[in-house]
Amino acid sequence: MLSAFLFTCLATVLGALAVGALLRRSNGLRGGLALGAVAGLLGSLTTMVPLKYCVLDPENHMFFRLSVLGQTITVNAVAVIGILLVMAVTWAFALAIDRLRHHWPARGGTVWQADTAPGTFVGYDFSPWIFLAPTVVGLAVFTYYPAAQNFFLGTQLARRGVANTVFNCLDNFASLITSRLQDAHYYILSDGNIWHAENARYLAVFGNSVFFSLFIVLVANALGIAIALLASQKIRGASIYRTLMIWPYAISGVVVGVVFALLLGGGGSGFLNQTLRLLGLQPLPFLSDPWWARASVVAAAAWNKLGFNVLIYVAALQAVPRELLEAASIDGANAWKRFLNVTIPMISPYIFLVVFLNLNYSFFDLYAVIDNLTEGGPVNATTNLVVDVIRVGVESRDIGKAAAQSIVLFMVVVGLTYMQFRVMGRRVTYGAD
């Protein structure tokens, strides 16, 4: 009881200091401190009360070791996640309160009237809610409630088909960064490593997702632009070539996985290996060596996305004004410089669109390709976040751990979407202005 009280007090004080400092410009020092204190109090209560202050229980622990510059410390993963959670929720409360404070209507007005931005809704107090109701109800029933349930499940030891669940604090989350059997060990600039992790299975899965995303985006876009450039040439039968180049896009992930499995099969039967054997060469371990298997997944997925990318880039290239290219040509720019300084900036909105669509695809839609090509193997080398969620939640029926994993996925979606808005809004040329 005492520790819970002290924790809440500490969260309130630290919340006041941190939020006060960060939001002092818009709220003043006193206002910022007050806002931070309220946010800290709400942040700690709304997270720790449902969690029954379990992170303070000395028996609730899962440790990992962290070595930075040769110094090693042992960290309680459950406590760290608990503190991060309180901080995140406190910050969310602070932003929400800050926004409400600054947009709260004067007496007699409405929240909506206070906003002077174009497109402001003006009307009676209750009328917006009537119009919003169908959407809000839909979102509440089909999105927010399941999301809340998912957070709840993330704190449970739960199995599909077993009615009973057991509260297990933040263990499901902690097990993503360490293991109950063997502490994970993270090295940062230590023991001759810039970065190294031991016994961090989920981190490796996360790394696979990042690897796939980077390389699929890179390969599918570089090839996409190259092929689109070729396909944009005025040659006889161009439309046939374009159609042929686009068709892989119409193929489902399952078919892509199966086709590449037949092509790259590791034994004597894969088409490529049979060809190699016919040429008197040794077969290659396309699907049985971890790095070859990763490369195979990238190849299959990039091929699948290539058609879509070519489609967009062909359209994008057609939209590049001829006059600009001609002007650059007159100024003495060679083909490469014209491409780099005129074409690329002009098609940059399309590049970013395609990059983010490809990123979303490679993070969230690779399951069918991986399941049919490598089944996540060998030794998890091609298991990414989505494959792992399905493994844990559907195949192993451990819905508590899967819920925790899906929250990580959710955070990735939020991160990618945020990045998308930032980059698309600021760094892309949408025309001459």
Partner 1 sequence: MFWKGQAREHEKDPPLVLLLLVLVLLLPSLTLAQDDDRIKIRFFHRWGNITWIPEVLEPAFEAAFPQYDLELRVADNYNNAYDLYTLAQEQGDPPELLQGTSSNTQAPRDSGFFKPLHEAIGDRTEINGIPVRLDEIVGPAATFYQLDGEYYELPWNASTPVVFANMDLLVEAGVAEDVNDFAAIPSTWAEVNEACALIADSFDDVDCINFGASGWYFENALAMQGAFLANNENGRGGGCVTEVLFNSQEAVDYLAWHKSLEDAGYWVDYGRSEYDITWANGKLAMHMTSSAAARGRVEIGEGNGFTVGANRMPYNQDVDYVGNTVGGGMILLTDGLEPEVEEGALTFLMFLLEPENMAAWHQVTGYVPVTQSAFDLLEAEGWFEENPTFAVANQQLAGSARAPQTAGAIFGSFAQVYKMYREVFQDILRNNADIQESLDRLKAEADLLIEEYNLLVPCDA
Residues in touch with partner 1 (CB under 8 A): 157-166, 180-181, 261-262, 265-270, 277, 287-289, 372-375, 377-380, 391, 394-398
Q: Which is nearer to partner 1, 49 or 162 (CB)?
A: 162
Minimal distance in Å, beta carbon 73 to partner 1? 25
Unique residue bearing structure tokens 């049985």: 288
- Of 59, 47, 89, 54, the closest CA to residue 169 belongs to 54
Rg over alpha carbons for the chain, rounded to the nearest Å, is 27
Q: How far is the CB of 24 from partner 1 (least distance, A)?
A: 47
Helices (H), 247-343: 253-264, 271-278, 290-318, 322-330, 335-338
Nearer to partner 1, 23 or 77 (CB): 77
Distance CA 215, CA 16 (A): 43
Cβ(35)–Cβ(21) below 8 Å = no
Which residue number, 46 or 274, has a Cβ lying nearer to partner 1?
Answer: 274
Nearest to partner 1 of 20, 376 (CB atom): 376
Q: Which two tokens stand for residue 199?
A: 């016994």
Tally of CA atoms within 13 A in the half-sphere of 138 that contains its CB: 5
Shortest separation between residue 157's beta carbon and partner 1, angstroms: 6
Tokens coding 119: 């497109």
Which of 141, 262 has the CB closer to partner 1? 262
Q: CB-based contacts of 377: which residues, under 8 Å, 6+ apart?
A: 293, 383
Among residues 373, 233, 241, 243, the alpha carbon closest in space to that of 302 is found at 373
Smallest separation (angstroms) from partner 1 to the CB of 194: 24
C-beta of 50: minimal distance to partner 1 in Å? 20
State in angstroms the smallest separation of the CB of 293 from partner 1: 10
Question: Do the beta carbons of residue 284 and residue 292 sit within 8 Å?
Answer: yes
Query: Residue 34 or 263: which CB sits closer to partner 1?
Result: 263
